């Protein structure tokens, strides 16, 4: 099993897996938009794509940026904006599940967010998606809140969150 950045040639298989995994799959254009990003990774098994993950650092919303600017204008001390990592998508081919691939992809996604100085990692998951929720809990994610009718079909979602350990940039003390 091998995890590597996604390439354009992987898209047909990624899209097939996406359609088998989700009732409202991402359109191809969403995956295309993430090509070239290190947070878009695939897991290859015996030369075939078995799963993928898309993670990234969240860009503050227009509202959050306006709020920060307004605070600065009114003389509030500048707060360092929190670097929130987001797990946008993760899926494993239904034929290849329960072999640790989901866990390996999630670990690679979290490692990357940590490398990018992410302070937290968050995600949304259907309240009925017990397999995914268990996987996230095993990795230390906790349910932060329930989001009413988050999904197209009216199902609620959980927002789950995990604090990431800062990557140490300090050399180890010799004393």
Ligand X SMILES: CC(C)(COP(=O)(O)OP(=O)(O)OC[C@H]1O[C@@H](n2cnc3c(N)ncnc32)[C@H](O)[C@@H]1OP(=O)(O)O)[C@@H](O)C(=O)NCCC(=O)NCCS
Binding site for ligand X (CB under 6 A): 21, 90-92, 97-103, 123, 125, 129, 131-132, 134-135, 138
The residue (of 68 and 129) whose beta carbon lies closer to ligand X is 129
Residue 103 C-beta: closest distance to ligand X, Å: 3
Q: What is the nearest approach in angstroms of ligand X to the Cβ of residue 106?
A: 7
56: which residues sit within 8 A by CB, 6+ positions away? 34, 37, 39, 85, 86, 88
Nearer to ligand X, 58 or 68 (CB): 58
3-state secondary structure 98-118: CCCHHHHHHHHHHHHHHHCCC
Between 57 and 133, name the residue whose CB sits nearer to ligand X. Answer: 133
**φ, ψ for residue 78 (rounded to 5)?**
-70, 120
Nearest residue relative to ligand X (C-beta): 102
CB of 94 to ligand X, least distance (A): 7
Tokens 């359109």 belong to 27
Whether residue 164 contacts residue 107, with contact meaning beta carbons closer than 8 Å, is answered with no
Min CB(38)–ligand X separation in Å: 20
């Amino acid at each position: 099993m091998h995890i590597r950045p996604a390439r354009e040639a992987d898209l047909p298989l990624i899209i097939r897996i996406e359609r088998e995994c989700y009732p409202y799959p991402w359109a191809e254009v969403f995956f295309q938009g993430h090509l070239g990003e290190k947070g878009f990774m695939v897991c290859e098994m015996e030369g075939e794509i078995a799963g993928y993950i898309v993670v990234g650092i969240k860009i503050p919303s227009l509202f959050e940026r306006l709020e920060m600017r307004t605070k600065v204008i009114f003389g509030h001390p500048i707060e360092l904006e929190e670097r929130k990592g987001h797990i946008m998508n993760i899926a494993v081919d239904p034929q290849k599940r329960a072999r640790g691939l989901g866990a390996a992809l999630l670990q690679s996604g979290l490692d990357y967010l940590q490398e990018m100085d992410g302070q937290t990692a968050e995600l949304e998951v259907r309240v009925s998606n017990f397999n995914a929720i268990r996987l996230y809990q095993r990795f230390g994610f906790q349910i932060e809140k329930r989001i009413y009718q988050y999904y197209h079909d009216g199902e609620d979602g959980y927002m789950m969150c995990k604090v990431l350990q800062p990557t140490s940039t300090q050399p180890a003390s010799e004393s």
